[in-house]
Structure 1
Amino acid sequence: MAEPGIHFLDACGPDDIRLYAIGDVHGRLDLLVAMHQRIEAEIEQETPADWRVIHLGDYVDRGPDSKRVIDFLIEARERDPRHLMLAGNHDIGFLDFLRTPDPEGLFMRYGGVQTALSYGVSLTADASWFGKVETVRRGHAALVKAVPPDHVDFLRSLPFSVTFGDFFFCHAGIRPGVALERQNQQDLIWIRDVFHDHTGLFPKIVVHGHTPVPEAEVMANRVNVDTLAWQSGMLSALVVDGPDKRILTMTIKEA
């Protein structure tokens, strides 16, 4: 028998734990720092019994400060393990590139050049195929040396999902009809249409990013907080405090 679903309006967080789920950062350290400052101020002022800050993945690529974003997240997790970080497809793509320098892979095609620059490595090349392949080969060797071991360890440590109360958190979404505990990792960081088009309720509200929307999207069965921070200058988060839910946004236009 299928597990009954839950509607967003009826969903509750766990007792005595306030949740903050932050969308895709993509190298925008300024927005991430500002969001953390806002959250810390709320926690200090409102003193919830406990809290978790859940980052939904895609920390690297496209924006200017991927290296410092990872530094910031490592420090935050070491300072307080209630800061949780999940894997996004770009984070796994970065690891994939460090293992195998594919000139046509996700990293090179979608913002990895900016990530490499944040580590002081250039991956730009002339338009010829041979020029690109040679640049990627040399750049890969330099990037492997430039990326600190603790950054690689951090990326490898990222889980693909976490659950609190009536909420299931992941980067991209889930495959309808598959139990939450049996979801495929590739779906959790890549899925789009079959998940977005599903109108039925899920066993828990799925909180995700991955697919940019102009403003946070609250549906009956899911919440999307990817507001294209690297380009829009707006980073969004879902806040859950018992039965209360709200969207928190931080806006900074890139200079």
Structure 2
Amino acid sequence: MRIYAMGDVHGRADLLKLMHEQIEAEIARDRPADWRIIHLGDYVDRGPDSKAVLDFLVAAHRRDERIISLAGNHDVGFLEFLDKPDPATLFARFGGAETARSYGVTLDSGSLAALRESHSALMDAVDDSHVAFLRARPFSTAMGDFFFCHAGIRPEVALDKQAAEDLIWIRADFLDYRALHPKIIVHGHTPFAEPEILPNRVNVDTLAYRSGVLTALVVDGAEKRMLSVRA
């Protein structure tokens, strides 16, 4: 089975579409026996077109069950804001304004009344299929020698016992851990200019919303390589 695991999209619908076009071209050319495309979360916030990203992913999931999308902290944060308009939330403070703008809504955090009004407008604008899609996202998946999640794992905790909070939020305790895990952990969440390839983990978050580069790890039997698309 060939696996493509791509990093944080953050509203870059243009890069997401380019990546899928590249992957589809490779699959048509090489005709692998089977394949999976794994998105590692953070589809919304910061970039210019979160709505188009979710439109694309909802349609992709309906089209082919071999496409897998995991939850990221910003995706969960979007749902939390839709449930409760709090100015202290991740969504309100870190990139939610761009997400709201992609739905034609101006997020106003100037006062609680203004925030509630813009929250109401956003609730009306967000398609029910987008909410249902985000609510249904799993926090991890495993295939062969690889474990896929958004942020990482709690070291020395069994993979099937990992807390959802760690899978979408963890940083230092995971990033600084040098011993091997039960599987190679493939993740995003912590951006770098280039993919990180270490003995125990692979990080494919190349800050797509700002750098214009979206990266994926490709695993095909003994072959492992990186695939990147640029704006």
Q: Which residue of 2 aligns with 1:209?
A: 188
Alignment of 1:42 onto 2:21? no
Structure number with larger C-alpha Rg: 1
Paired position in structure 1 for 2:119 = 140
Residue type matched to 1:107 in 2?
Answer: F
**CA distance in structure 1 between the partners assigned to 2:18 and 2:44 by the alignment:** 17
What residue in structure 2 maps to residue 52 of structure 1?
A: 36
- In the alignment, structure 1 residue 122 sits paired with structure 2 residue 122: no
How far is the alpha carbon of 1:134 from its aligned partner? 2.2
Match in the other structure for 1:248: 227
1:197 match: 176
Q: 1:171 matched to which residue of 2?
A: 150
104-113 or 132-141, which deviates more = 132-141
Q: 1:21-40, aligned counterparts within 5 Å?
A: 21-40=5-24
- Out of 37, 53, 70, the residue aligned to residue 54 of structure 2 is 70
Task: Give the distance between the partners of 1:122 and 1:132, measured in 2 at CA.
Answer: 13
Aligned-pair CA distance for 1:102: 0.7
Q: By how many angstroms is 1:145 displaced?
A: 1.1
Amino acid at match of 1:167: F
Shift of 1:67: 0.5
Letter in 2 for 1:224: N
User: In the aligned structure 2, how far is the partner of 1:65 from the partner of 1:75?
Assistant: 16
Amino acid at match of 1:37: E
- Alignment-mate amino acid for residue 215 of structure 1: E
Cα distance in 2 for partners of 1:123, 1:157 equals 25
What letter is aligned with 1:234?
A: V
Specify which structure has the bigger relative contact order, considering alpha-carbon pairs within 8 angstroms and separated by 6 or more residues.
1
- How far 1:136 moved relative to its partner? 1.1
Distance 2:51 2:121 in 1: 15
Query: For 1:120-169, what per-residue CA distance to the aligned partner results, in whole angstroms no more than 9, with x for missing partners?
Result: 110135xxxxx332221101111111111111100000000000000000
Give the superposition deviation at 1:244: 1.0
Stretch deviating more after TM superposition (132-141 or 169-178): 132-141
- Distance between the aligned counterparts of 1:59 and 1:190, measured in 2? 15
Q: Percent identity?
A: 62
1:152 maps onto 2:131 in alignment: yes
**Residue 94 of structure 1, CA deviation:** 0.2
Partner of 2:159: 180
- Give the partner amino acid of 1:187: D
Question: In the aligned structure 1, how far is the partner of 2:208 from the partner of 2:108?
Answer: 24
The amino acid across from 1:57 in the alignment is G
The answer for the alignment partner of 1:107 in structure 2 is: 91
Alpha-carbon distance in structure 2 between the residues aligned to 1:79 and 1:105: 33
Aligned pair count reads 231
Partner secondary structure for residue 19 of structure 1 = strand
1:205-244, Cα deviation, whole Å (9 max, x unpaired): 0000000011111000000000000000000000000121
The alignment partner of 1:26 has SS state of coil
How far apart, CA to CA, are the structure 1 residues paired with 2:200 and 2:181? Answer: 6
After TM superposition, the structure 1 stretch with the greater mean CA deviation from structure 2, 36-45 or 132-141, is 132-141
Partner of 1:7: none
Q: Letter of the 1:172 partner, please give it.
A: A
Gaps of 5+ in 1: 1-16, 126-130
